Structure 1
Amino acid sequence: MSGELNWLSAREMTRRFAGGELSPVDVLDAVLAQLHRVNPALNAICLLDEPQGRRLAAEAAERWRRGAPLGPLDGVPVAIKDTAHVAGWPTRIGSHATAAAPSAEDTPGVARLREAGAVFFCKTTTPEFGWKGITHGPLTGITRNPWDTSRTPGGSSGGSAAVVAAGVVPLATGGDGGGSIRIPAAFSGVFGLKPSYGVVPNFLGPLGPLAVYGGLSRDVADSALLLNVLTQPDARDSFAIPDRGIDYLDGLDAGVAGLRVAWSPDLGFSGADPAVVAGMQPAIDALVKAGADVKQVDLDLSAAQPVLEVIWGASHAALVRDFDGAQLAALDPGLLRLVMSAQDISASELQAAYAEMRALSQAMHAFHRDYDLLLTPTIPITAFAAGIDTPDAVRFPQWFDWTPLTWPFNLTRQPAASVPCGFVEGLPIGLQIVGPMFAEQAILRASRCVEQACATGARPALRAGAS
């Protein structure tokens, strides 16, 4: 029984809590048992606070006993990515340079989860300052993929994706500044949604409008439920849009009939694995069968890469600008190379990059006059060896060279999701579904359609393959 608890959805947990069939305390016991079983192989968490988790679970159990839950996530265990503040826990962001002192307040998304009664018991690993699309670094070491522990789970929300995929928690938080929710969702075989900028209140960070707060789950409906919580207002974010009162679970099964959908296998970039591109076809066929009008388009966004490189480099250089020599020397070598190479970026170059970013956003706004949604592979390759920054330094010199289909939509601020759609040689692949600004509901409906057609029910066995 306890083993099956690890694979329940958040919605099923609270349904059973309400019926008295299950207690949040029982769920947390199963969660901790699974975590202790799998984490030695995955290295997916960087902080564990069992006493707090047990206290929060017991409080939630008492609320359900009284018939007075705080909300639809009361008692549900949620793992928190260590780029967010949790009051009473340190925020290390994968770096030796950060303080080990506890944070004084919650990040907005964490505050909403706390108000909803979610059970916090751990923080998940991230590369240093979330700078790359894989999860390893000097503070926390190498995080591994549950489907093949010789491979990376992706990043920077790699620890979160790994614990969701491995049956530890139904939900985990993440942040996405260049694909950091969608990359690990694709590599780890889970669902991840990057909301439109401004939909989820957040603290403004060095990446500005590129970065948003969100989460990962094993099914689409759980992410819709999570979004209902995360989108609640927070006065600390003056850039958040006004609360629109949307229930993202409403209409989730309404389908995609009549939607105009574009398909691009590469967005004009090279290097896609033909097997990964071919692996998208069942998902595309499912959308067509459900009534969507899907057409392949010639959409080339490759000219945006220099824009991303300038903004990414300048943002991270600004983040470490006050570091002394010892702190710089302790950085992830790849991050150090990035910030050193960005030292010569001028103010005019940075402003020109932001102007190009706005132009790209406007171009995609025009594109969506003709198409309700855009489909691409999330990542054009499968998960590669854990502990390295790129699978091929000649073909893909930097992390953004092998993730060219995710970061354009951080530049444009659009919502985008990665939904599992199959496997290539035993490794998960994901279909990316992109919408115009504030089209999360359409993305969720399309993702649900793909999920219903492509979900296999397979669970990772934490096997180790050849790297």
Structure 2
Amino acid sequence: MRAGTELHALSAQELVDAYRRRALSPVEVTQAVLDHIERWEPHLRATYLLRPEAALAQARESEARWLRAAPCGPLDGVPATLKDNIATRGDPTPLGTAATELVPAAQDAPPAARLAEAGAVLLTKTTMPDFGMLSSGLSSFHPLTRNPWDLRKGPGGSSSGAGAAAAAGYGPLHVGTDIGGSVRLPASWCGIFTLKPSLGRIPIDPPYTGRAAGPMTRSVGDAALLMQALARPDARDSMSLPAQDIDWGGYAAAPDILRDLRLGLLLDAGCGLPVQPEVRAAVEAAARVFEQAGATIVPLRPFLTRTMLDGMDHFWRMRSYMDLRTLSPQQRTRVLPFIRDWAMSAAQFDAAHVYEASQQFHATRVATVRACAQVDYVLSPVAPITAFDAELPAPTNDPLRPLEHIAFTVPYNMSEQPAASIHCGWSSSGLPIGLQIAGQRFDDLGVLRVAHAYEQLRGAQRPWPQPPASAAAPS
């Protein structure tokens, strides 16, 4: 345990070690994290169903297990959060939108069940935008979520609350979901680490093409510890991978594992927003770190096309349009106007257009796998830009151009490949910049190992943001 570190800032690994030695109690840690959340939350608004007494009751149960030297799992007593759309038994799952009927869930979704089995203390759920279809903290149901590095900016999305919570120190472990970049974009814009694993590595319910759950943490080590609990088969996910004995502790390889690796460097996604010069410079600097450690850097040509990105966008619009049609007129008016306008624009699409759009998911998959076959791993920006204004639903603020910022991330959802975001630099205004590390399908542990090697080599990091001294929240 690091001397002088406040309890809310301790890693999951440090907490488990301290519990084992009886140097700390899960109760005092949980209380310290709750106190820290209380200081931050008027400014960030990252939580949903924050229930201190329920969390403390779980912590007391964990404390009793540790006193008997009988922890129930690898995360016993470690504070954690879950995204709004990961169902927890007895709680409503609003999916970030005021249009959803608040019906209690009948059972825990797989990630929630795995956290409970591992003994984690569930502090709170975290916020998300309507239906998870924005890279923003803007929601018709939740308060506006902000970025702890700059309260004028958004944390990204759709795992917006999880990204903000991890950066702000709402405990060490957070779980989000990702269908086009929704754990990696907030990780990049909040300066944390995440892994979007291979499809099916972490089972999820309901499953959907490209949809994955992933750990969101301050370090690679904590993400690996969380993977140990989450990466177990579950029959409710039709795409759940078979049981596999993965040594998640093997992430902690020395930097010399980079020697002789071929790392692709992708600086142009092929479409979408242009890469800001500061983002490009930070990713190039990270590539030089890998090169100095013995890796060979191979420039890659863009492989995503405008046709692919627009096709996926248009198919998702039609899916959302069909979903909105099932709502009553009153419910439909509660949907965030940006999302409603985006979805309703699909009313003009004919069957042939929707069919052609649907084919772009497979075209993206084929192009991504082919490009990645040339190298061991691919380095790129996570996003072409740094965090944008909190009040905006998307960087373009245009419902007909909503996905211009996901061109680096969405290909790996379609190809089912693991891809991580790790902090690699800062803009001149002090905003975090993320490096994406993508690997071959099923090589989740390899991506963690490469990310950990970079984590060791990148040097000292800036202190994490602290709650403002003033109690006044941003207007």
- Note the aligned Cα RMSD (angstroms): 2.1
Aligned to 2:58: 56
Structure 1 residue 386: deviation in Å?
0.5
Structure 2 contact 174–215 (Cα < 8 Å) conserved: yes
Q: How does 1:316-327 map to 2 (within 5 A)?
A: 316-327=320-331
Q: TM-score, normalised by structure 2?
A: 0.93
Question: Deviation digits for residues 193-244 of structure 1, max 9, x if unmatched?
Answer: 1111111111135xx2121111200001111111111111212122211011
Structure 1 residue 315: deviation in Å?
2.5
Structure 1 pair 8–300 and aligned structure 2 pair: CA distance change class (3 A): same
Aligned to 1:227: 227
Aligned to 1:416: 419
Structure 2 contact 162–174 (Cα < 8 Å) conserved: yes
C-alpha distance in structure 2 between counterparts of 1:457 and 1:13, whole Å: 22
SS at match of 2:249: coil
Q: TM-score, normalised by structure 1?
A: 0.94
Structure 1 pair 83–466 and aligned structure 2 pair: CA distance change class (3 A): closer
Structure 1 residue 347: deviation in Å?
4.3
Is 1:148 aligned to residue 150 of structure 2?
yes
C-alpha distance in structure 2 between counterparts of 1:185 and 1:222, whole Å: 14
SS at match of 1:253: coil
Structure 1 pair 95–393 and aligned structure 2 pair: CA distance change class (3 A): closer
SS at match of 2:258: coil
Structure 1 pair 2–144 and aligned structure 2 pair: CA distance change class (3 A): farther
C-alpha distance in structure 2 between counterparts of 1:399 and 1:439, whole Å: 31
Aligned to 2:171: 169
17-26 vs 280-289, greater mean Cα deviation: 280-289
Structure 1 contact 389–398 (Cα < 8 Å) conserved: no
Structure 2 contact 290–454 (Cα < 8 Å) conserved: yes
Aligned to 1:127: 129
Opposite residue 424 of structure 2, the aligned amino acid is C
C-alpha distance in structure 2 between counterparts of 1:172 and 1:333, whole Å: 29
Q: How does 1:324-343 map to 2 (within 5 A)?
A: 324-343=328-347
Question: Deviation digits for residues 82-131 of structure 1, max 9, x if unmatched?
Answer: 01101122211111222323212001111111100011121111001111
Structure 1 contact 435–443 (Cα < 8 Å) conserved: yes
C-alpha distance in structure 2 between counterparts of 1:128 and 1:379, whole Å: 21
Is 1:400 aligned to residue 403 of structure 2?
yes
Aligned to 1:277: 280
C-alpha distance in structure 2 between counterparts of 1:170 and 1:272, whole Å: 31
Aligned to 1:180: 182
232-241 vs 127-136, greater mean Cα deviation: 232-241
Structure 2 contact 380–435 (Cα < 8 Å) conserved: yes
Q: How does 1:24-103 map to 2 (within 5 A)?
A: 24-103=26-105
Structure 1 contact 279–429 (Cα < 8 Å) conserved: yes
The gaps in structure 2 that reach 5 residues or longer are none
Opposite residue 317 of structure 1, the aligned amino acid is Y
C-alpha distance in structure 2 between counterparts of 1:439 and 1:81, whole Å: 25
88-97 vs 75-84, greater mean Cα deviation: 88-97
183-192 vs 447-456, greater mean Cα deviation: 447-456
C-alpha distance in structure 2 between counterparts of 1:377 and 1:159, whole Å: 22
Question: Deviation digits for residues 245-296 of structure 1, max 9, x if unmatched?
Answer: 1122214314322221100112223521111110113321221122221121
C-alpha distance in structure 2 between counterparts of 1:297 and 1:247, whole Å: 31
Aligned to 1:367: 371
Aligned to 1:456: 461
Opposite residue 253 of structure 2, the aligned amino acid is D
Aligned to 1:357: 361
Match of 1:257 among 246, 259, 271: 259
Structure 1 pair 262–346 and aligned structure 2 pair: CA distance change class (3 A): same
Aligned to 2:432: 428
Aligned to 2:444: 440
Aligned to 1:248: 248
C-alpha distance in structure 2 between counterparts of 1:25 and 1:2, whole Å: 19
Structure 1 pair 413–307 and aligned structure 2 pair: CA distance change class (3 A): farther
C-alpha distance in structure 2 between counterparts of 1:275 and 1:334, whole Å: 29
Structure 1 contact 308–411 (Cα < 8 Å) conserved: no
Structure 1 pair 264–212 and aligned structure 2 pair: CA distance change class (3 A): same
